[in-house]
Structure 1
Amino acid sequence: MEDLLCYHCGNHCDNQSITIDDKYFCCNGCKTVYEIFSENELTCYYDLEQRPGAIPQEIQGKYDYLDNAKILEKLLEFDAENKQVVNLYIPHIHCSSCIWVLENLNKLQKDIIASQVNFPKKTIRITYDSKGTSLKEVVLLLSAIGYEPYISLEDYELGKNKVDRTLLYQLAIAGFAFGNVMFLSFPEYFEVNEFWLEQYKYIFRWLMFSFSLPVVFYAAKDYFISAYKGLRSKILNIDVPIALGIMVLFLRSSVEIIFDLGTGFFDSLTGLVFFLLIGKFFQQKTYNFLSFERDFKSYFPIAVTKILPDESEEIVQIYELEKGDRLIIRNQELIPVDGVLIEGSAKIDYSFVTGESIAVKKQSGDKLFAGGRQLNGFFIMEVLNSVSQSYLTQLWSNDVFAKDKDSKFTSLTNTISKQFTIFVLSIASISTLIWLFIDPSKAMNVFTAVLIIACPCAIALAAPFTLGNLLRILGKKKCYLKNAAVIEKMAQIDTVVFDKTGTLTSTKENKISYEGIPLSKTEKVVLSNAVRVSNHPLSRMLFLWLETNKKQAVDSFEEQLGKGIIAKSGAIELRIGSLALVDAENKTNRIETAIHIAVNDEYKGRFIFKNAYRPQMKMLFSKLATQFNLSVVSGDNEGEQVYLESVLPEKVQYLFHQQPEDKLNFVKSLQDKGQKVLMIGDGLNDAGALAQSDVGISLSENINVFSPACDAILAAENFKDIETYLQISKKAIRIIKYSFMLSLCYNVIGLYFAVTGQLQPVIAAILMPLSSISIVVFTTVMTNQLGKKI
């Protein structure tokens, strides 16, 4: 019988009876999966990889426990308004076709809204409509197509974070093979003719061939896979010359022993892979340490208002929260932990979690999930679980918030590595052709040595280690960047735009006075509780100034960005904010920073603010003015312009009466002129401008408000260091370029000896990881030196 392989999973078919569309399958399970893909027009799955699937297992009744509400609650990340989110560990994820089909689950099940694969962790985050399907049905679907998730109620977290030891196994096999091949090669090295008899020579050579097989087909497989995927996508990645070098060494050595032409280069081959993997292991260990330190120690500089037992309020860091604590969540604040709503009503935007901005209404007793944003009014909640830093970090970095500006950005490494790979392949080909005419016996050695010694691994390491270490250092200095690419973008900035209120001004030292008809005690209580709900800097200042301890529920609350607040409590309706919102007739709009107030449509007066600017503002602007174009935008009137012009450099541009959309349009107008814009705001009225800018920094003053639109969060106390951060980003790029130059020096020297035929492949294999390690040490030391300057 002809040896048949299953079209879906690649296993041998015991018979030819299970077939469809002229394709053979080993079992009805594989055939069913093919039919599912075919019916949903997903057969492109098989174009990405040959036989990528796994045999679906019989799972009847296996997941019935997922119908249990208590068990379901433990597994779900999010559950509200018919939307549920679950993160599942799937061990079988192994290739691009796995990613493709798993991220197209919505085509197999219409009630699955979105699915996102984390390939390194082998997890999938699925958002689905719980009204139309259930977690059990989702798991059954995954299992039916050969991607059964690993679910253990005791070891669930362990399963998700399961350590992948593949690299360690590959390194062990390569090291074992390299040692034995070198040992078997000694008789040839030392020409021990007394021992190297004809009957032993062939045995030793075939043993070396045998030892090389697991090295090439297992230990080095990742290089071939990466190179193949790159070429298939018409991209010359850094693994192309490595894979080519390994393949040439193996084929040349195999030909030599098969036709008895020589002993081959199995020592160089196994040595090359072994030293490559040592460099890769060192890189992985170091980079994992950097990433862990950032996730563990560096957290958003946000805090939350905690209600103490005596009913007083205290601002605390969110990682200090414990189960049972009571929190106040104000308008536009982010819910930092899972909890239960115990007082007030909530209107929650869960776009941080689901990507959908449809508001969800919650009442007392409802469960609330971390990542939701309160849109209207305030409420009091009780904490169910302590804060999960990594979870909120994941939400902030969610691909849901990826913008066009990220897709258009090309990193320095990608630009250079592509050109470098082309250069290496050209040099290798040209030098080999020349040696074919000079000395054909050395041609293959030259080709292999060039590919190995000129491997751009060091170039690939320079940026990740430089930017990754700097990400960690900046986190320690309370500047929290969304990802390493932000540093590269900051280095290109030539224009800085500042919001005024809450950014240039401080909320702690302002002077407030009241002009108008005195407010009654009841009106003051309602006013205090209305501004208590808002997170606008002026509202926070006014709340602290009023010092009204009496708490009173606000029946309705509406905050119009850039305008003010409309609140109602009992028979009293307040309009608080701009003169336009209060709509006072025959009142002159004086040039001042003020909050106007009307009670039941009767104009009462205004609270006048004498802004207290940050003490480091003048010094910061003086430093920035020598290198950047500067602008100040504000929703306030021109009342502070004269003062600002007297203390800030002449080149600063001022724009007042700016609504949120005006700020966005101003940033866009600068970008249309070719300028690279950094926007610095307080994250409230500036969300649009932060999103539009090339880099958006949200300044935080211990308020639990920031936006996924921003690229960085900066503690207000470090406002003075903005210029330093910009300079450090430019120096980081300089370090990367120095690393490239250092790598180039290695390559030029190595290429000279390789092209001239003086360098054996095994020596090249030793030198290459040493160059990579030296780049890692250089970038780490230099970035640590940069960190000391902050």
Structure 2
Amino acid sequence: MARATTPCAHCGLPAPAGAESEPAFCCRGCRTVWDLVHEAGLDNYYALRERLDAHAPPGSGQSSQAAEAPAYAHLDDPTVLAQVRVDDRPGTASLHCTGMHCAACVWLIERLPRVVDGLDSARVDFGSARVVLDWDPDVVALSRVAALFHRAGYELHAVDAQAEQTRRDDRRRELVRLAIAGASAGNVMLVSFALYAGALSGMEAHWSRFFEFAALILAIPAVAYGGLPFYRAAWAGLRARTLHIDLPIALGVLGGFVASVVATFTSGEVYFDSVSVLVFLLLIGRHVQRRGQQWALSQTDLIQLLVPARARRILADGRREDCSSNALAVGEHIEVRRGERIPADAQVLRGRASIDASSLTGESTPVSVEPGDAVLAGTIAVDGGCELEVRAVGAATRVGSLAARIMQADAVRAPIQRAVDRISGYFVATVLSLAVLGGLAWWLVDPSRVFSVVVALLVISCPCALGLATPVALALARARAARRGILLASAGALEALAKVETAVFDKTGTLTEGALEVHTATVIAPLDEAELAGLILAVERGSGHPVAQALRRWARARVDARPERAASSIEVLVGKGRAAVFDAADGRPRAQVRIGNLAWLDHRELFGDDLTQALSTGKTPVLVELDDRPVAMLALADTVRPDAAVALDRLRALGLQLAIRSGDHPAAVGAVARELGIEDFAGAMTPEAKARTLARLPAAAMIGDGVNDAPAMRAASVGVAVRGGAEVALRTADVHLAEPGLAEVAELFEGARRTMAIIRRNLGFSLGYNLVFASLALAGLVGPLAAALLMPASSLTVVLSSALSRSFDDRRAGAKRTRSEPRELFGSGSIAGCDSLARPGASSAN
């Protein structure tokens, strides 16, 4: 006899039926998440999900679950398993995990192995959003493990484990070098304290010799291993016939060390402490700089961000098979359903769909496709579904070509500290020339002092302050900007921002809110707005189309207390709109309602001037028919951000020229430009055209949010990604604004100019300092020991100058979230389905 089942209280899958009053669960993972949801006070999540399911229209294909669980069969593909394997060990995988936002997420994931036989461990690297799994392939498949993560609210994606391992090894070597140099410098300082104390109070000669030899031995790791990157850079510069800024550092470190070694055997003055501490501080500075460059992506990483990992292949016998999108071949047939992202460039064979290509083209309104039309990888089928023939995969797709352009532009970008590099060539040549000339002069005057004068000159002229003038100011500015919500992936972006002459904006999602809204509504009597709102809510219920979402938002604000009408049938006409039939009820007669675009319901003669005005300003008209009679016309458009005008005025006050480059319709772009007073604008631009335009501008910043903006961001002098943008735009941009609105764009440019003023002051001080004390060293008035003591003073002055100066206002824009808000515990989307409930108008069918 079959055991009775009931839907799982969390995910909706069949679960063993228990007591009537107790919730049933299909697994311990669902029980864990269910308990966490209730402990966090989010009990209404399940009630909201049930209401969304109840409102789904007939034939929408929506299950009783909040969302259909994606298939993970592609993770069992041998090619994918080899790609994600860790240290070439079977049964291991390094996977990218989305949905982790707090320590509670880490706690839950690392305890998931308790509920799956064969899953031995799950180790989380929260900083890189990676999960390393160890499982027994003979007991459980990786696809089943991924399905468990999905039910707990997390998604696993394949990453290149070998490339990730290489990056981890590089980071590990850098930290080991830093630790060894720090330990060496600390111990040398302890020994040096004894020598300084002995010099003041008297110390027996044999103890002094002992401490000098101890300092020599302890300094070797810092000088030999810690200073290796500087020696390599200096040598590489010499081989390239360039005087690298690390050359005086290498000569100063080696010269100081050699002089101290000589002094150890000749009873002279030693300064192993200054040399070892110098190496340690320089390594810290380099480490801080590299930490800001951890968002660098390979071309493969960029494609993985945009293209789904799995595809649904159609076999010759008509069966559907889940496979890795990387395994698709040109000519194969695939199926794409509503709400899914297209895995390859393809041509439509059967079916019709509305495609959201805004992330690639910038067009804010979905476009309809039918058999014979081409579709691009990375775009989304928001309505309908179709069968496609693959035309290009991976790097050969449009997305792949965009990723290649991004990486090519990234490879030719200018060095991070161009100002310092320009000065350093002359500075290094001058220091070396002075050392040679000074040595020759003292050889003629007093040969016994040649070595001490040259060493003192190299040590005191060591460009430590010059080297720290820029990175310290940039690091402090980045930290202060981050506290305000301005995240700089590249420290050099501040210099580029300060030199910008033209700020080029994308329209959709940057200058505008990025969501369609009803701007005007023309209603024909006897129908009123309240009755129209009720019809719209009934007809558009459950649709995930952006136009439908905008109509529902407008209708909710106008519906009255009259009984809600329910449609007896709803027909979705892809590329046109929706038609619904209402049976007679509550004294109201039977009615047929159609809501659609102008191409389907063309009533130009009736709405005349209103329709012409909407079209001329780039708005999208939507018409409503009641029993074959036109009753309303609504004009939809994106809304300009409320703070845009003030922020743009602040940019104009800095002397910046403003421009708009968008992929949206030229009329829509022109309407926004006129509203904001921007004279230079262009619409209907492809991503490649944007990139070419930005490449021709000598000092321009690209501010945008979509994938279509990413190549332009790399081609520009600096790229700025606004909050809510596509992940590839955020990852390829130099700057990410974590706070909404354009006020932070103005603060970014103002702060960058203040930072560069601080850097110029620091550079002026360090050059003046070196000029004065190099002259004293050449005159023989400053010996090696005094030089070793004075040299860090210039660095300390530069650091204090940067720390005490204001670059960015530390005030964080926007209100802080209170501890009582549930998202503080779980983070956005950390529980399956919560993210869709949090977004107004989100469709649970997706």
**TM-score of the pair, normalised by structure 2:** 0.53
Cα distance in 1 for partners of 2:725, 2:569 equals 24
Written as runs of structure 1 = structure 2, the 5 A alignment for 1:289-438 is 375-377=379-381, 402-405=407-410, 407-410=412-415, 411=417, 412-438=419-445
Secondary structure, in 3 states, of the residue corresponding to 2:742? helix
Name the counterpart of 1:763.
786
What amino acid sits opposite 1:222 in the alignment?
A: G
State the Cα deviation string for residues 738-776 of structure 1 (Å, max 9, x = none): 111111122122112111111121211122222212211
Cα distance in 1 for partners of 2:567, 2:444 equals 92
Name the counterpart of 1:734.
757
Written as runs of structure 1 = structure 2, the 5 A alignment for 1:551-562 is none
Q: Which moved more, 1:487-496 or 1:613-622?
A: 613-622
User: In the alignment, which of 431, 441, 451 is matched to residue 448 of structure 2?
Assistant: 441
CA spacing shift, 1:243–1:277, aligned 2, 3 Å: closer
Secondary structure, in 3 states, of the residue corresponding to 2:554? helix
Task: Note if 1:625 corresponds to 2:649.
Answer: no
Cα distance in 2 for partners of 1:624, 1:770 equals 39
Cα distance in 1 for partners of 2:728, 2:553 equals 18
CA spacing shift, 1:218–1:706, aligned 2, 3 Å: closer
What amino acid sits opposite 2:553 in the alignment?
A: L
User: In the alignment, which of 527, 541, 553 is matched to residue 544 of structure 1?
Assistant: 553
Name the counterpart of 1:607.
634
What amino acid sits opposite 1:214 in the alignment?
A: L
Task: Note if 1:121 corresponds to 2:171.
Answer: yes
Name the counterpart of 2:689.
665
Cα distance in 2 for partners of 1:244, 1:609 equals 67
> In 1, are the aligned partners of 2:231 and 2:250 still within 8 Å (CA)?
yes
Cα distance in 1 for partners of 2:118, 2:708 equals 41
CA spacing shift, 1:614–1:176, aligned 2, 3 Å: closer
Secondary structure, in 3 states, of the residue corresponding to 1:455? coil
Cα distance in 2 for partners of 1:553, 1:264 equals 98
Alpha-carbon offset, residue 705 of structure 1 = 9.5
> In 1, are the aligned partners of 2:714 and 2:732 still within 8 Å (CA)?
yes
> In 2, are the aligned partners of 1:276 and 1:765 still within 8 Å (CA)?
no
Task: Note if 1:221 corresponds to 2:225.
Answer: yes
State the Cα deviation string for residues 513-544 of structure 1 (Å, max 9, x = none): 445999998886564544x354xxx7764442
Name the counterpart of 1:247.
254
Name the counterpart of 1:171.
185
Cα distance in 1 for partners of 2:246, 2:235 equals 10
User: In the alignment, which of 469, 472, 481 is matched to residue 474 of structure 1?
Assistant: 481
Secondary structure, in 3 states, of the residue corresponding to 1:708? helix
What amino acid sits opposite 1:711 in the alignment?
A: D
Secondary structure, in 3 states, of the residue corresponding to 2:736? strand
Written as runs of structure 1 = structure 2, the 5 A alignment for 1:505-544 is 505-506=512-513, 511-514=518-521, 527=540, 529-530=542-543, 532-534=544-546, 541-544=550-553
What amino acid sits opposite 1:708 in the alignment?
A: R
Alpha-carbon offset, residue 557 of structure 1 = 11
State the Cα deviation string for residues 95-151 of structure 1 (Å, max 9, x = none): xxxxxxxx7xxxxxxxxxx8642455328xxxxxxxxxxxxxxxxxxxxxxxxxxxx
Cα distance in 2 for partners of 1:697, 1:485 equals 13
User: In the alignment, which of 273, 276, 293 is matched to residue 275 of structure 2?
Assistant: 273
Secondary structure, in 3 states, of the residue corresponding to 2:499? coil
Alpha-carbon offset, residue 225 of structure 1 = 4.5
Task: Note if 1:70 corresponds to 2:119.
Answer: yes
State the Cα deviation string for residues 685-712 of structure 1 (Å, max 9, x = none): 6455445433333333699996534333
Secondary structure, in 3 states, of the residue corresponding to 2:267? coil
> In 1, are the aligned partners of 2:769 and 2:794 still within 8 Å (CA)?
yes
Cα distance in 1 for partners of 2:414, 2:724 equals 31
> In 1, are the aligned partners of 2:181 and 2:221 still within 8 Å (CA)?
no
User: In the alignment, which of 679, 694, 699 is matched to residue 653 of structure 1?
Assistant: 679
> In 2, are the aligned partners of 1:510 and 1:611 still within 8 Å (CA)?
yes
Cα distance in 1 for partners of 2:165, 2:222 equals 31
What amino acid sits opposite 1:480 in the alignment?
A: L
State the Cα deviation string for residues 83-105 of structure 1 (Å, max 9, x = none): 843769xxxxxxxxxxxxxx7xx
Report percent identity of matched pairs.
18
What amino acid sits opposite 2:734 in the alignment?
A: D
Cα distance in 1 for partners of 2:379, 2:805 equals 45
Secondary structure, in 3 states, of the residue corresponding to 2:731? coil
User: In the alignment, which of 455, 461, 476 is matched to residue 468 of structure 2?
Assistant: 461
Structure with the bigger RCO (C-alpha within 8 Å, sep 6+) is 2
State the Cα deviation string for residues 703-748 of structure 1 (Å, max 9, x = none): 9996534333335644134333212212211211111111112212
> In 2, are the aligned partners of 1:174 and 1:273 still within 8 Å (CA)?
no
State the Cα deviation string for residues 268-310 of structure 1 (Å, max 9, x = none): 3x1332442574588589x59x979x99xxxxxxxxxxxxxxx
> In 2, are the aligned partners of 1:478 and 1:718 still within 8 Å (CA)?
no
Cα distance in 2 for partners of 1:69, 1:362 equals 33
Cα distance in 2 for partners of 1:70, 1:786 equals 49
CA spacing shift, 1:698–1:557, aligned 2, 3 Å: farther
Cα distance in 2 for partners of 1:551, 1:115 equals 56
Cα distance in 1 for partners of 2:714, 2:573 equals 27
> In 1, are the aligned partners of 2:722 and 2:736 still within 8 Å (CA)?
yes
CA spacing shift, 1:771–1:708, aligned 2, 3 Å: same
State the Cα deviation string for residues 561-598 of structure 1 (Å, max 9, x = none): xxxx7889999999977x6x879698886313432458
Cα distance in 1 for partners of 2:179, 2:715 equals 42
Secondary structure, in 3 states, of the residue corresponding to 2:268? coil
Secondary structure, in 3 states, of the residue corresponding to 1:777? helix
CA spacing shift, 1:768–1:83, aligned 2, 3 Å: same
CA spacing shift, 1:679–1:459, aligned 2, 3 Å: same
State the Cα deviation string for residues 162-205 of structure 1 (Å, max 9, x = none): 99632331113322443455577789xx8x9xx76xxx6xx965
* Corresponding pairs, count: 562
Structure 2 segments unaligned to the other structure (5+ residues) = 1-86, 94-116, 125-129, 133-141, 147-155, 295-302, 310-319, 327-331, 341-376, 384-402, 582-591, 606-610, 814-846
Alpha-carbon offset, residue 489 of structure 1 = 1.9
> In 1, are the aligned partners of 2:618 and 2:671 still within 8 Å (CA)?
no
Structure 1 segments unaligned to the other structure (5+ residues) = 1-60, 89-102, 104-113, 124-159, 296-331, 339-344, 352-357, 367-372, 380-397, 559-564
Secondary structure, in 3 states, of the residue corresponding to 1:757? coil
> In 2, are the aligned partners of 1:177 and 1:211 still within 8 Å (CA)?
yes
What amino acid sits opposite 2:689 in the alignment?
A: N
What amino acid sits opposite 1:376 in the alignment?
A: I
Alpha-carbon offset, residue 436 of structure 1 = 1.2
Secondary structure, in 3 states, of the residue corresponding to 1:700? coil
Q: Which moved more, 1:480-489 or 1:503-512?
A: 503-512
CA spacing shift, 1:785–1:478, aligned 2, 3 Å: closer
